[in-house]
Structure 1
Amino acid sequence: MNRHESMLRIAASSDISVLLLGESGSGKEVAARFVHAHSKRAGGPFIALNCGAIAKGLTESILEGHRKGAFTGAVDERLGVVRSADHGTLFLDEIGEMPFEIQCKLLRILQERAVMPLGSCDPQPVDFRLICATNRNLRAEVHAGRFREDLYFRLNVFPVKIPPLREREDFNTIAQEIWKEIADHNPLNASEIALLSKRKWPGNVRQLKNVLQRYSLLKPYDITLGNVLTDEFSEPATVADTCTLYQAKSRRIAETPEWNLICSELSKNSGNKSVTAQKLGISRGCLNYQIRKHSS
């Protein structure tokens, strides 16, 4: 078991606040859901909020909710994310992006374990478990005056560093699991895994998933994983140049014959796929893809 997974399991055994640290795309939300799923709160809600997307004018309503009629446009009561996480887990993603003026509101909620919905004079107690995540150095943010020191100490109770994909010992397992989720194919072979593992993956798990999704769509047209990786990690190109790598092969996609023509040619060639593909001017992989597509 990896060290960070062991730490996540330890955290899940208690109600301690967790701070997930790691690069963008490294799987911090996956880790947060793991903690929730393995905790005593697994039967409760998991509420996620991207702190960088909070509109300043709606801060109080998003966090603490509001009563009906609390302000113009408040036609219904709104719980807010904190009360929505009651008896469950509140996951605040990108906590380092939270505007400074909003941080004091969060600090009060954490101190009092209660919210004050707009339009209400009575605090509402809330029982929730807090997990936060950031790709920023919060200590540096504190020193720069962009993050409250008192809030930092409230959050930094049980920090867990999620390693980047390039440092993961279970890279092969991660790649195979992603491939299994997105593609109804055989597992990635040894050469494909070797090609993937040679890359640094600055976008981490998110980037790997994007590449494998693309490969799954293009593989039936004889576009190799090497082609996909070359394009993914090539130097930034102009818009006009982005399709040059696949231009010759991808033309086959647009030129795929009508299904009735494929059936007719297969019949003429007694079901011989190699001969049929050659007669139609397409690859055998493309022919097999069309057969699978129309047989399902």
Structure 2
Amino acid sequence: MKHYVSMEDFHAGEIQSVLSLAKEYEKHKIPMQNKEIFAANLFYEPSTRTKSSFEVAERRLGLSVIPFEVNHSSVQKGETLYDTVKTFEAIGCNLLVIRHPETDYYKDLIPSLNIPLINGGDGSGQHPSQCLLDLYTIQKEFGSFKGIKVLIAGDLKHSRVARSNARALSMLGAKVFFYSPAEWVDEELLQWGSFCQIDDILPIVDVAMMLRVQLERHTETGHIDDYHQQYGLTLERAKRMKSGSIIMHPAPVNRDVEIAGPLVESPQSRIFEQMRNGVFVRMAMIDSLLQKWGIGTNENTAKERTMVGW
């Protein structure tokens, strides 16, 4: 793979390779030798966690981050995504991270792109870095994916997180279940798991992965006043989860909508742990992708580099 744009491009071995490198980064600070590497994060949608996490990952690797804010760029003058990308390539940028509201935006860019690209999220399509950090969180918790039961619940129709995770989890040996309001069901997900009722499945799953209600992508009218009681992870539902199970959410969390507020920082929750893990996973993604391109990485492997504590 010359770019990390979709989990459909990853096979099990490649996933494990990134997760193993992330583990090395979590244990040690591994500085890169060449700091003359420039990265740009082109986010055409609002983001706190993903954008900031990528920037921290880039800086910890010693990369120089080129500032970009869509509201203060030539996008406001009508510049296309393609021309923005080619501009950054022309001025010497070595790595691009892009989030864009158009699903599959990268398909028109890749044929003409001469630097590596990481997809930070495309419309209702894919979110590979979120998927990999979710996988890393689950692997740290349970040691393996074989036989792990995962419920992905919520706004399935509009969720790139659900789409990315469902395929990867199934491929790695997990058993995947889905739950959603009828109008937000995505039939394509059936190839990776089965639909269920949340009250029936919660007592047996190891992971309850709740999804944000993505109102900004909805075209239908309606409201979510009763969503929490009907479809969310309430305090009462959480009491029926089995011992040792965990709660996950890609965030931002709509508290008391997808998940009861007190559960966000409960002992079962791994929501903030997911955010922490995201930095190490994104460091691993950046490093491994730059290695594929031969851009400024150390000659030695991660385990052979000088290890310095954070």
TM over 0.5: no
* Greater helix content: 1
TM-score by length of 1: 0.29
